[in-house]
Amino acid sequence: MSEKKGAGVWDGFKAFLTRGNVVDLAVAVVIGAAFTNIVNSVVKGVINPLVGAIGTKNLDSYSSCLKDPCKLAADGSLESGVLIQWGSVLGATLSFVITAAVVYFLMVLPMSKYLARQVARQKAKEGTQEVIEVSELEVLKEIRDALVAQRGSGHDGS
């Protein structure tokens, strides 16, 4: 009996893994991980130099001292004070905005347009099918009326 339960659990697990949503999610995670490298390269190679034209190239170096005196040790750790590193937040925000924009404009928007076209084609096909069904019904009514008219004229002439 335990073998039967084990087989049922295993079958359920296999069904879960082969479901389309799980495979799609796995592909999305792999593509997202690869895409993160591209976005990080864009931020490092394009955005940071643009910011560097105004200040330093490294966004992490932008900070403000909330509680004086802010002293950094040689290894970069904070010895005293309260340091707000808003440059790191800005860099992460830029990475997020770039990622969201690319995902939207290169993946979401084209897919939604494609799906809208598919729905429009389906509706057009259904509309054509309705017209064909209506016209067939009209033709059948005309045939019926013609047959009734022939029978009626045939009975009158006898």
pLDDT digits (tens, 9 = 90+) for 51-100: 778 776 677 778 888 777 878 777 777 777 788 888 888 888 887 887 78
Q: Kindly report, residue by residue over 53-66, the tens digit of the pLDDT.
A: 877 667 777 888 87
Q: Kindly report, residue by residue over 1-60, the tens digit of the pLDDT.
A: 455 566 788 888 887 777 767 777 888 888 888 888 887 787 778 877 887 787 766 777
* pTM for the predicted model, two decimal places: 0.50
Task: Identify which of 60, 127, 113, 120 has the alpha carbon closest to the alpha carbon of residue 89.
Answer: 60
Considering Cα of 110, then 112, then 115, then 117, what sign does the dihedral take?
negative
DSSP state of 48: H
